[in-house]
Amino acid sequence: MRSLVTGGAGFIGSHACLRLLDDGHAVTVVDNLFRGHRGAVDALRKAGGDRLTFIEADLADTNALTRALADGKIESVFHFAALTYVGESMERPLDYFTTNTAGGISLLRAMGETGVRRIIFSSTAATYGEPAAEAMPITESTAQRPINPYGASKLQFETVLRAACAAVNDPAPLAAIALRYFNVAGADERGRLGEDHRPETHLIPICLEVALGRRPHLTVFGEDYPTPDGTCIRDYVHVADLVDAHVAALAAFEPGRFKCWNIGIGRGYSVREVLDSCRRVTGHAIPAIVGARRPGDPPSLYADPAAIARDLGWRAKWTDLDAVVKSAWEWMRAHPRGYA
């Protein structure tokens, strides 16, 4: 199979590329390297040799995307490229809609020009917004009411995909799948790739940065939530399990159909549980201070993954939090400055 992966130099996209290369496929990566890493591309090239093609280009460059699809004789697209910081989206909403919604439309136009009709979209649980506690766990039928431009921009592109799949009199209908992620963590088991965000906003790598001496402490944003220990609860899925879900979804394309599934382990861990896990794995005290709640942080968010288990046979294998943290820690210890 020949695939084009947008955002393939980023955390999740690079791990997806690695899996495809390990399986013997040819991969074309398109990434503008705004937040992706050339070091990740180098690791992919080492793994895939001449089966890896890298094109430095932006989603807005429809002509570059069209050439990449045509030159690579692409059969399927994995669309990971996006801006993904919730707080930043509140400050720069136009950037988020430009990249996440309009950029996706640019990609669909290029796919239309080249006859590529299969796309898996990296969506997010942020499209659900702030469901009530009684709505846990979140299913695919939970109302999508995003509370920030990040979630809204992703939901808008889901809407675009639905409409494109349903286009009237299309001789070659689009087949689209959206996978709605919860919190993604961990790293490649063989240590070839890991998580390196600039800036880092994810809980597990922040804890590990404290253990490495790169931060003085962790800030726990609020300890008075209606949860067992007062801190927020989230669903953490290992990046390898997430990639497995994408591979499973390749068998589910149907022309003219838009499909969606939640990707999570089906239970949540609190901030304090994650902190305790990081302390156990690293053997470091990881000092923590308590700060004010962050606006828009729901007390609890975790997935009901029953639908994808039923439809595609996918189930998370990495369900032990310490094992997830250990995989991230091993990569970070070997790369204390990330890809720098």
Active site residues: 150
Q: Using CA atoms, how far apart are residues 301 and 310, in angstroms rounded to an integer?
A: 21
Q: What b/e sequence results for 305-331 when a residue is b if at least 16 CB atoms lie within 10 Å of its CB, and e otherwise? A: bebbeeebebbbebeebeebbbbbbbb
- Using an 8 Å Cβ cutoff, are 87 and 145 in contact? no
Strand partners, 42: none
DSSP line for 202-229? -HHHHHHHHHTTSSS-EEEE-S-SSSTT
First vs last C-alpha separation in the chain? 32
Q: Residue holding tokens 């809609």? A: 97
Residue at token pair 């919190």: 183
Q: For the range 279-284, what are the long-range contacts, defined as Cβ-Cβ under 8 Å and sequence gap of 24 or more?
A: 280/322, 281/322, 281/325, 281/326, 281/329, 282/208, 282/211, 282/329, 284/210, 284/211
Residue partners of 329: CB distance under 8 A and separation at least 6: 208, 211, 278, 281, 282
